[in-house]
């Protein structure tokens, strides 16, 4: 029996990993060592305390890495945002610490949420990393677009959104950083007068900065513009100025026209309007 168990465990690494992980997910290991169940759902209720100073008010959203809550600082009444990381997505707090360091390095970029501090809290007997940052009053761009007629926005307004987004990411690229996950659900928008205030959330850690990663930000930014206009269904009816920027979403053509985010921003500031942009 012992030989059979040894064979099952050491036959191959993949089998060992599968057996070990399967046992861990059910709360036990082969030798009887108790393991905590994987925390896939934090689910904090309003009124729950986070650390010594904060109280949960409501859930703002959730994603691959964790959950985001609106919290209130008890002594001052100031509201902030708290991102709580699932422990299995954040071993030894590596992801949360890298995220905090990136936000701190980009603290002078207006499009980036301001990081305040990092805390560790205990939830269901597990240590959870928690990033406290400013609370943005904007709404996800995805939801804002759906509020408009036809669930799309007109070309001129879409160009304004694109300009503010390009200018914001340009500042990130100037500091030799990147976002790597630019899409309509990761952009918060707040119309203020004749301009838009945008905030980028959920930076993706893709390792050290390379030109390719910044180029992906350019392609994703153009895709956001394309989605604002209603996507493929309405693309053929767009004016030439709009189609020139979207370039049919052809990677090579977009990057030949806009090799950097600065090139895209400069084009938006200088191109000549020959059509009537509604």
Query: Do 107 and 156 lie in a common domain?
Result: no
The answer to whether residue 223 is domain-embedded is yes
Answer whether residue 3 shows pLDDT above 70: no
> Are 188 and 224 in the same domain?
yes
Terminal alpha carbon distance of the chain: 77
What average pLDDT is seen over the chain? 87
The last residue of a domain, from among 109, 134, 159:
134
> Are residue 202 and residue 124 in the same domain, yes or no?
no
Per-residue pLDDT, averaged over 45-57, amounts to 93
**One domain, residues 115 and 77:** yes
102-128 average pLDDT score:
93
- State the DSSP H helix or E strand holding residue 21, giving kind and residue range, or none if neither: helix 13-25
- Sequence-distant (6+) residues with CB within 8 A of 137 are 190
DSSP 197-257: EEEE------SS--HHHHHHHHHHHHHHHHHHTTTHHHHTTS-HHHHHHHGGG-HHHHHHH
Give the model confidence (pLDDT) of 93-112 as tens digits.
Answer: 999 999 999 999 999 999 99
Q: Are residues 75 and 117 in the same domain?
A: yes
| Band of pLDDT at residue 194, cut at 50, 70 and 90 | confident
Lowest mean pLDDT of 22-31, 75-84, 257-266, name the range: 22-31
Which tens digit of pLDDT belongs to each residue from 155-166? 999 999 999 999
In-domain check, residue 39: no
**Residue 54 is inside which H or E element, if any?**
strand 54-62
Judge if 109 and 146 occupy the same domain: no
Bigger pLDDT: 204 vs 69 = 69
Q: Is 10 helix (H, G, I), strand (E, B) or coil?
A: helix
Tell me whether residue 28 is in a domain.
Answer: no
More confident: 35 or 30:
35
Helix (H) or strand (E) holding 127: strand 126-134
Task: Give the domain-ending residue among 93, 109, 134.
Answer: 134
Greater confidence (8 vs 168) lies with: 168
CATH of the domain at 117: 3.30.200.20
Per the structure, the complete domain to which residue 130 belongs is given by 49-134
Q: How confident is the model at residue 35 (pLDDT cuts 50, 70, 90)?
A: low
Q: What residues does 112 pair with on adjacent strands? A: 200
pLDDT band at residue 18 under the 50/70/90 scheme: very low
d(CA 175, CA 258): 19
Count: domains in the chain? 2
> Both tokens of residue 113?
């949420």
Together in a domain, 124 and 232? no
Tell me, yes or no, whether 144 and 256 share the same domain.
yes
Instruction: Identify the pLDDT of residue 251.
Output: 98
DSSP state of 51: T
Residue 161 belongs to a domain with what CATH number?
1.10.510.10
Q: Based on the domain organization, do 162 and 263 belong to the same domain?
A: yes
Look at residue 165 and tell me if it is in a domain.
yes
Burial class (CB in 10 A: 0-12, 13-18, 19+), 258: buried
For residue 24, being part of any structural domain is answered with no
Q: Are both 114 and 146 inside the same structural domain?
A: no
Same domain, 123 and 162: no
27: helix, strand or coil: coil
Q: How far is CA 101 from CA 151, 179, 262, 265, in A?
A: 37, 14, 25, 27
**What percentage of residues in the chain have a pLDDT greater than 90?**
74
Look-up of token digits 């850690």: 205
Q: Output the pLDDT for position 20.
A: 33
Boundary-marking domain end, from 92, 119, 134: 134
> Which of the four pLDDT bands, split at 50, 70 and 90, describes residue 127?
very high
Within-domain flag for 254: yes
Residue range 225-235, pLDDT digits in tens: 999 999 999 99
Q: Is the pLDDT of residue 12 over 50?
A: no
The confidence score (pLDDT) of residue 276 equals 67
């Amino acid at each position: 029996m012992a030989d059979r168990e040894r064979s099952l465990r050491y036959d191959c690494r993949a089998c060992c990993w599968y057996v070990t992980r399967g046992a861990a997910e059910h709360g036990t290991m082969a030798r009887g060592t108790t393991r905590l169940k994987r925390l896939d759902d934090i689910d904090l209720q309003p009124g729950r305390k986070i650390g010594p100073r904060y109280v949960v008010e409501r859930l703002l959203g959730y994603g691959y890495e964790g959950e985001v809550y609106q919290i209130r600082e008890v002594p001052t009444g100031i509201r902030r945002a708290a991102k709580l990381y699932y422990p299995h997505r954040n071993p030894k707090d590596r992801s949360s610490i890298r995220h905090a360091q990136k936000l701190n390095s980009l603290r002078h970029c207006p499009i980036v949420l301001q990081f305040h501090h990092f805390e560790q809290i205990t939830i269901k007997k597990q240590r959870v990393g928690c990033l406290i940052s400013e609370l943005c009053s904007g709404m996800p761009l995805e939801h804002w677009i759906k509020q408009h007629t036809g669930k799309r926005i007109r070309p001129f307004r879409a160009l304004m959104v694109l300009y503010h987004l390009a200018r914001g990411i340009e500042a990130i690229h100037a500091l030799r950083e990147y976002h790597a996950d630019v899409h309509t659900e990761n952009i918060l928008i707040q119309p203020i007068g004749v301009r838009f205030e945008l905030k980028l959330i959920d930076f993706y850690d893709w390792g050290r900065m390379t030109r390719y990663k910044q180029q992906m930000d350019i392609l994703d930014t153009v895709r956001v513009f394309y989605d604002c206009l209603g996507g493929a269904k309405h693309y053929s009816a767009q004016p030439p100025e709009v189609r020139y920027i979207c370039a049919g979403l052809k990677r090579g053509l977009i990057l030949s026209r806009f090799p950097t985010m600065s090139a895209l921003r400069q084009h938006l500031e200088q191109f000549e309007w020959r059509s009537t942009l509604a």
